[in-house]
Amino acid sequence: MNSFHLISRLLQLVVLFGILFSYAMFQGGFVSWFLLYAFIPLFLYFILFMLYPISKWNITRTLSHTVQHAGGKIEVTIEISRRIGFPLPFIIIEDCFEPSLKHDYYSKEIYQFLNQPNEIQCTRVKKKIHFPLFKRKISYTYVLEELPRGFHQLQTTRIKTSDFFGLVHKQHLFPVKSSFIVYPQTRKLVMKQSRNKLEEGATSTVKAHTPLSYAVNGVREYMPGDKFSWIDWKTTARKQEMITREFEQEKNVEQLLILDATSYQGINPIAFEANVELVSSFLEWYHGKNTNLSLLSIGKQTNYFSFIESSNKQAISQHLATVQPEEGSIFSEQLRKNLNTLPAYFNVHVFVSTLTEERMETIGQLAKKMNHAIVYLTKGSALLTEEDRTYIEQCKYLGVTIHVITEQQWMQSSIEVGVS
Instruction: Give backbone dihedrals phi and psi of 103, rounded to 5 degrees, phi first.
Output: -120, 140
Are 232 and 273 members of one domain? no
Residues 272 and 234 in one domain: no
Domain that holds residue 150: 54-183
Element (H, E) at 24: helix 3-27
Residue 333 reports pLDDT greater than 50? yes
Per-residue pLDDT of 58-106, as tens digits, reads: 999 999 999 999 888 999 999 999 998 899 999 999 999 888 887 666 5
Cβ atoms of residues 172 and 54 within 8 Å: yes
Question: In what helix (H) or strand (E) does residue 369 lie, and over which residues does it extend?
Answer: helix 357-369
Q: Where does the pLDDT of residue 6 fall: very low under 50, low under 70, confident under 90, or very high at 90 and above?
A: low
* 236 and 147 belong to one structural domain: no
What CATH number is associated with residue 106?
A: 2.60.40.10
- pLDDT at 22 (0 to 100): 76
Instruction: Tell me, yes or no, whether 106 and 81 share the same domain.
Output: yes
- Residue at which a domain ends, from 132, 167, 183: 183
Q: Are 183 and 317 spatial neighbours (Cβ–Cβ below 8 Å)?
A: yes
Dump pLDDT digits (tens) for 125-175. Answer: 889 999 998 999 999 999 998 888 999 999 999 999 988 877 788 899 999
Residue 212 pLDDT: 42
Q: Is 51 exposed, middle or buried (0-12, 13-18, 19+ CB in 10 A)?
A: exposed
Most confidently predicted of 1-10, 15-24, 245-254 = 15-24
286 and 348 housed in the same domain: yes
* Total structural domains within the chain: 4
Average pLDDT over residues 388-399: 87
At 336, which CATH number? 3.40.50.410
User: In the predicted model, is pLDDT for residue 370 greater than 50?
Assistant: yes
* 39-44 average pLDDT score: 78
Number of neighbouring beta carbons within 10 Å of residue 221: 10
The per-residue pLDDT for range 182-236, each reduced to its tens digit, is: 999 888 888 775 544 334 443 333 333 344 444 455 677 777 766 666 787 777 7
The pLDDT of residue 201 is 40
How much is the average pLDDT of 391-411?
87
**Does 42 or 63 have the greater pLDDT score?**
63
Name the residue with higher pLDDT: 108 or 400: 400
pLDDT of residue 216: 53
Which pLDDT score is estimated for 120? Answer: 65
Q: pLDDT digits over 244-295, tens only?
A: 876 554 445 688 899 999 988 888 888 999 999 999 998 888 877 767 788 9
What pTM, to 2 d.p., does this model score?
A: 0.76
Task: Assess whether 264 and 369 both reside in one domain.
Answer: yes
Based on the domain organization, do 274 and 374 belong to the same domain? yes
Nearest to 342 by CA among 398, 390, 298: 298
Q: Give the percent of the chain with pLDDT over 70.
A: 80
- What length is written for the chain? 420
pLDDT value at residue 227: 66
Same domain as 410, residue 300: yes
What integer pLDDT is reported at residue 198 of this predicted model? 35
Which has the minimum average pLDDT: 228-237, 357-366, 379-388?
228-237
pLDDT at 373: 87
One domain, residues 15 and 67: no
**Which residues does residue 375 pair with via DSSP β-bridges, in sequence order?**
350, 402
More confident residue, 194 or 419: 419
Judgement on whether residues 201 and 306 belong to the same structural domain of the protein: yes
Q: Are residues 26 and 86 in the same domain?
A: no
| pLDDT tens figures, 108-131 | 678 888 888 776 666 788 899 999
357-369 vs 386-398: helix crossing angle, rounded to 10: 20
- As a whole number of angstroms, the distance between CA 267 and CA 272 comes to 8
Judgement on whether residues 313 and 260 belong to the same structural domain of the protein: yes
Q: pLDDT tens digit string along 300-321?
A: 888 888 765 556 778 888 999 9
Cα distance between residue 32 and residue 185, in whole Å: 72
